[in-house]
Copies of this chain bind each other. A is one copy, B any other.
Amino acid sequence: MSDIKKVVLAYSGGLDTSVILKWLQDTYQCEVVTFTADLGQGEELEPARAKALQFGIKPEQIYIDDLREEFVRDFVFPMFRANTVYEGEYLLGTSIARPLIAKRLIDIVNETGADAICHGATGKGNDQVRFELGAYALKPDIKVIAPWREWDLLSREKLLAYAEAHGIPVEMKHKAGGSPYSMDANLLHISYEGRHLEDPNAEAEEDMWRWTVSPEKAPDQAEYLTLDYVRGDVGAINGQAMRAHEVLAKLNELGGKHGVGRLDLVENRYVGMKSRGCYETPGGTILLKGHRAIESITLDREVAHLKDDLMPRYASLIYNGYWWAPERVALQTLIDHSQEHVNGSVRLKLYKGCVSVVGRDSKTDSLFDSTIATFEDDAGAYDQKDAGGFIKLNALRLRIAAKQNARRS
């Protein structure tokens, strides 16, 4: 282990990564560079700097970055272009943040001449895989330190004991409540795992949810909004142009107010087990609904179906941590290409947990041709007799087989 001289630590400032910081210093006798990202999780980052300084980290080796715009523009939006949903329900809020963190860790490795990275993800979860696959793809000889797979602080009690023994401040909540939910948050979502959620038959407690009001407490009045799309991405809300991360923040605000985006599910982790998670994804839930709606009038049927066929695979790639793998990039090439004409606007209604589409329009790219679809006289735009031949030829193989069947029996 002695060959590690400098390590970049993904540092939140919380208890776990503070213990890790100290443990790294003690165990590896190495310099530590801390990296703390603002991904829109809604927490102050300056306390992380203060803590890092307390541990003796040099000021110039404390990285605190606002990655919100990059996160939404280069990760969240590209993912939503594919209408990405894992296992039919999960909007991948945690998964999609990991590759950006991996990238920044490696950037900082390159800037600081470090030889290792370190993260606080456990050995049972997906996040370790996402961090490390990203890191290896971007810097193949990087060393990775995953304390949860190395040390023996495997219960919360041991962790707390270590903290107290090493003078690491422990907040009241940790001491008092036993283990809190395991949570993760960024602009796309907040997630909850562990504790009594470990029984998949137990309903989540109402006071667990943080970002959304309960539908019951949401306003009695519905709210409408309009999303304007440019090449598959939302560029404006209610006519007001915004940057990517502003779009998502605004949709979180609107969705949260109306109780939109709560989800309770059991998912299949890449490491082989099922786990139960609860998620709040207010803005993402609106984005998905809106994107399908704008595609519904601007995207060719077969391109849309091709995307639908590939989506579960693309979702699994992101869930499993393969954002930086060439097969994800190859799929993205196709997905991004498909969005060229996905321009227009969608009108949505939010009400007590529901998002409904009430209209969609595209001045430049609509493939909806009401002169053909109409139930009224279409002035010859479509010759109904064509359908006869269409059906006859599509039925031909079925008829030949049916005759063969009849002969056989």
Q: Which of A47-55, A227-235, A350-358 contacts B (4 or more CB under 8 A)?
A: A350-358
- Which among A297, A330, A388 has the highest number of chain B CB atoms within 10 Å? A388
Q: Chain B: which residue is nearest A262 at the CB level?
A: B356
Say yes or no: is A275 at the interface (Cβ < 8 Å to chain B): yes
Q: How far is the CA of A201 from the CA of B346 in the complex (A)?
A: 8
B398 lies within 8 A of A358 (CB): no
Q: Which of B302, B327, B406 is the one whose CB lies under 8 Å from A303?
A: B327
Q: Indicate if the CB atoms of B353 and A272 lie closer than 8 Å.
A: no
Number of copies: 4
Q: How many residues on A have C-beta within 8 angstroms of the other chain's C-beta atoms?
A: 128
Contact status of A316 and B327, CB under 8 A, knowing A264-B358, A353-B351, A398-B136: no
Which of chain B's residues has its CB closest to A157's CB?
A: B377
**CA–CA, A344 to B266, complex, Å?**
14
Question: Using an 8 Å CB-CB cutoff, how does the interface string of A365-409 with B read, 1 for contact, 0 for none?
Answer: 111111011111100001111111111111111111111101010
Contact check, B389 vs A388: say whether CB atoms are below 8 A apart.
yes
- Contact between A408 and B365, CB atoms less than 8 A apart: yes
Whether B308 pairs with A309 at a CB distance below 8 angstroms is no
Most buried by B among A182, A352, A377, A390: A390
Indicate if A240 sits at the interface (CB-CB under 8 A): no
- Do B272 and A133 touch across chains, with their CB atoms under 8 A apart? no
Show 6 residue pairs from A and B whose CB-CB distance is below 8 angstroms, ordered by the A residue.
Answer: A87-B292, A137-B398, A140-B402, A300-B397, A353-B354, A390-B394
The 3 closest A-B pairs by CB, nearest first: A123-B384, A389-B389, A272-B396
A residues lining the B interface (CB < 8 Å): 83, 87-89, 122-124, 128-129, 132-133, 136-141, 146, 148-149, 154-156, 179, 182, 193-195, 198-204, 215-216, 220, 222, 262, 264-268, 271-276, 292-293, 296-297, 300-306, 308-309, 312-313, 316, 322, 324-327, 329-331, 333-334, 337-338, 347, 351-354, 356-361, 364-370, 372-377, 382-404, 406, 408
